[in-house]
Amino acid sequence: MAARTDVTAAGNFLIPNGTFFVELLIFLIVLGVIWFFVVPPIRKVLAEREARVDETTANFKEAKETFAEAEARYQSGLEKARAEAAEIRNTARAEGRAILEQLRSEAQEEADRIVADSAAQLRSEADQVAAELRAEVEPLAESLAERVSGVNGQRAGSSAGRQRGQASS
């Protein structure tokens, strides 16, 4: 049997015909339109978005560094302020102690002065009382001595009269 050569290609779908080439041409035209008119704006938007993301990332890193620096300055300022406050507190305590000691010494001096003045006043009052007592006791002692010795009876009587007069007054 011999091979048939009179078979036509109209029924074979594997052999391309004009419809295939027209569809291929339309696909390439649509692909070209999309490639030249749709893809560039999308690429531009994506590039802008990526640039903004990069910028935001850089800003975030810069802000993070700035925050770290500010935090370090804050901590150092806080430590400095605490040290100054402690120094001021210690100075105030020392001044308070000095003032307290000064007031205590002034009070002690005032008390010593008051005691000395009181002692001097008491001494002068004691001397005055002793002088008054001597003035009063001396005539009594003389009259008593005269009575005991019996020297002058007349005088003893007058002295006794004096004593009675003083006692009555």
Residue 125 is assigned to a structural domain of this protein: no
Instruction: List pLDDT tens digits, range 39-74.
Output: 999 999 999 999 999 999 999 999 999 999 999 999
Instruction: List pLDDT tens digits, range 79-128.
Output: 999 999 999 999 999 999 999 999 999 999 999 999 999 999 999 999 99
| Tokens 């009587």 found at | 157
Q: Cα(160)–Cα(167) distance, rounded to whole angstroms?
A: 10
CB atoms near residue 163 (< 10 Å): 14
CB atoms near residue 160 (< 10 Å): 13
Number of structural domains, the chain? 1
CB atoms near residue 45 (< 10 Å): 10
Residue 83 is assigned to a structural domain of this protein: yes
Q: Cα(107)–Cα(85) distance, rounded to whole angstroms?
A: 32
Residue 107 is assigned to a structural domain of this protein: yes
Residue 165 has pLDDT above 60, yes or no: no
Domain that residue 97 falls in: 30-120
Residue 161 is assigned to a structural domain of this protein: no
Residue 167 has pLDDT above 70, yes or no: no
b/e 95-107 (16+ beta carbons within 10 angstroms → b):
eeeeeeeeeeeee
- For residue 35, name the pLDDT band (cuts at 50, 70, 90): very high
**Mean pLDDT within 140-146:** 86
Residue 141 is assigned to a structural domain of this protein: no
| pTM for the predicted model, two decimal places | 0.41
Residue 157 is assigned to a structural domain of this protein: no
Residue 80 is assigned to a structural domain of this protein: yes
Residue 156 has pLDDT above 70, yes or no: no
Residue 164 is assigned to a structural domain of this protein: no
